[in-house]
Amino acid sequence: MKVTELAKSLGTTADTVRYYTRLGLLKPAKSVNGYKSYSNKEVSRLKFILSARNLGFSVADIKQILNESEDGKSACPLVRSLIKERLEETEKQFQAMLALRGKMSSALSQWEEMEDKAPTANMVCHLIENFEQIKKA
């Protein structure tokens, strides 16, 4: 199987396959013409990688998990602990985005009723520089 073939069969891009290969997550054989040749084992490996990415694991996480399982050990404990970390991070980012979204939409609606002003020596844009979010009661 060639790069593009593998990629399409799992609904991803050739660049993604190349990226994982570069990192050593996939280990294709070299075909005669120098092209990479992927076996069925690589297909299921890639399937795993894509599932894990979809669940929020980082590529580095996945590398770790694959290493563990290559030693014949169960990766389950590692997987549980990693997802706990990732979920915490996601939660933080989520809260940050929630706050940002609020700020932005508040700014947008405020600014629609405000006039344009030319810049001055110490003010680039009064919309931004005078913005203060209205606090929720």
Partner DNA sequence: CTTGACCTGTGTCTTAGACACAGGTCTAAG
Partner DNA sequence: CTTAGACCTGTGTCTAAGACACAGGTCAAG
Residues near a second copy (CB under 8 A) are 41, 44-45, 47-48, 51-52, 54-57, 65-66, 69-70, 72-77, 79-80, 83-84, 86-87, 90-91, 93-94, 97-98, 100-101, 103-105, 107-108, 111-112, 114-119, 121-129, 131
State which of positions 32-91 bind DNA (CB under 7 A).
Answer: 33-36, 53, 58-60
Number of H helices, E strands in the chain: 6, 2
* β strands within 12-133, DSSP E: 29-30, 36-37
Q: Binding partner of residue 79 among DNA, a second copy, none, CB under 5 to 8 Å per kind?
A: a second copy
Q: Binding partner of residue 73 among DNA, a second copy, none, CB under 5 to 8 Å per kind?
A: a second copy
d(CA 31, CA 2): 9
Nearer to DNA, 11 or 72 (CB): 11
- Residue 31 has φ and ψ, to the nearest 5°, of -80, 170
What distances in angstroms separate CA 123 from CA 49, 112, 116, 128, 129, one per listed residue?
Answer: 50, 19, 13, 9, 7
Q: Binding partner of residue 25 among a second copy, DNA, none, CB under 5 to 8 Å per kind?
A: none
